[in-house]
Amino acid sequence: MSAPDLSRITTIEDLRVVAKRRVPRMFYDYADSGAWTEGTYRANEEDFQKIKLRQRVAVNMEGRSLRTTLVGQDAAMPLAIAPTGLTGMQHADGEILAARACAEFGVPFTLSTMSICSIEDVAAGTGGHPFWFQLYVMRDRGFIEALIDRAKAAGCSALVLTLDLQIMGQRHKDIKNGLSTPPKPTLANLINLATKPRWCLGMLGTKRRTFGNIVGHAKGVSDMSSLSMWTAEQFDPCLSWADVEWIKKRWGGKLILKGILDVEDARMAADTGADALVVSNHGGRQLDGAVSSISLVPAIADAVGSRIEVLMDGGVRSGQDVLKAVALGARGAMIGRSFLYGLGAFGQPGVKRALEILYKEMDVTMALCGRTQVDKVDQGILVPGTYPA
């Protein structure tokens, strides 16, 4: 089958509109929603828009390059795919398809613990191309050790330890939709699925319909239809910095700490000797009422940027957003929803298109701001007074 012509898809918003039409409501809402009032979810995007760019002219714009390194790994641009749960419910075999698109484009892909396709599925599906693996800390330490060992065996090049989900935030849409995987055969679900024939055909063609890293691996787990029940029972509310040290030693490779939204926590993260941190509020899906991610990037980069690489996620919907994050001190940005929209809309070609859109927006914006090398981008491309100091 030939790849669809996506030349008329020119923005991430275009992909979102198609994804909303093609993905079942409970899974679309799972990706495209925040906690409680969704105030922090909205602030992540809105605060990017407040930051204004300086237009520069009569500058030689030839020889531009977005190439950089992220946690020591070459990248085509300062962007990585963030870990997102249930990616394989946006599109059949979603994690494998997204990882392939990232491998071809040259940006890191991060697989979530709560993925549908397993670590082994993605390693096999990408021909052994290295990817990052995201770890949640659970009560069963033996299972955590096994996950780390499986990530090592799969050749994962970095471990992303998420620190901001010891307990689940209030996600009202997931509760109202009765989120489960696979979907329960309720009347409401069946009616909604009947309007998503493309998605249903894809799911009929795959055996991957539940949490591949957990079912059949964790002790006594044969059914994980309820994500909220699993997290309530298994995610460890006693997570501490001592656990980070233990995981760092057990893993032995590149370690990224995700979920930092406070300068004091950033200093503690740097003290662990981890290689990078991600300024993040979990996409506005955990503590509603928290500040946006981008608003804290300058302070955190200033406090610890000389000791640990600073990444960020939350609200990135354009290449301009990525460039603004870099200008404020981040090494790069991670995207979740932006690639999920592409995946839900068109599968692997949709993820590729999302990456192309972001690359183009970044390249053109950098040029019009008078810079040619992304590693030379700093606050000089921003209008003073429009960005957090």
- Count H helices, E strands: the chain? 16, 10
DSSP 54-91: PP--S----S-B--EEETTEEESSSEEEPP-TTGGGTS
Structure tokens at 209: 């319909």
Structure tokens at 47: 């605060």
User: Which of 127, 124, 115, 59 has its CA nearest to residue 88?
Assistant: 115
User: Which of 316, 330, 235 has its CA nearest to residue 278?
Assistant: 330
Residues 366 and 143: their CA atoms lie apart, in Å, by 45
| DSSP conformation class of 379 | G
Domain residue limits, the chain: 12-377
Active site residue ranges: 282
Beta bridge partners of 134: 160
Domain 12-377 CATH assignment equals 3.30.390.30: no
Show the CA angle centred on residue 112, arms to residues 1 and 167, nearest 5°: 140
Q: Binding site: what residues are annotated?
A: 30, 83-85, 112, 134, 136, 162, 171, 258, 280, 282, 285, 313-317, 336-337
Contact status, residue 263 vs residue 303, Cβ threshold 8 Å = yes
Q: What is the pTM of this model?
A: 0.96
Q: Give the pLDDT of residue 3.
A: 80
Q: pLDDT 10s digit of each residue in the chain, 389 long? A: 678 899 999 999 999 999 999 999 999 999 999 999 999 999 999 999 999 999 999 999 999 999 999 999 999 999 999 999 999 999 999 999 999 999 999 999 999 999 999 999 999 999 999 999 999 998 889 999 999 999 999 999 999 999 999 888 999 999 999 888 889 899 999 999 999 999 999 999 999 999 999 888 777 666 655 555 666 778 889 999 999 999 999 999 999 999 999 999 999 999 999 999 999 999 999 999 999 999 999 999 999 999 999 999 999 999 999 999 999 999 999 999 999 999 999 999 999 999 999 999 999 999 999 999 999 999 999 999 999 98
Q: Give the pLDDT of residue 222.
A: 61
Residues 6 or more apart in contact with residue 180 via CB below 8 angstroms? 26, 225, 226, 227
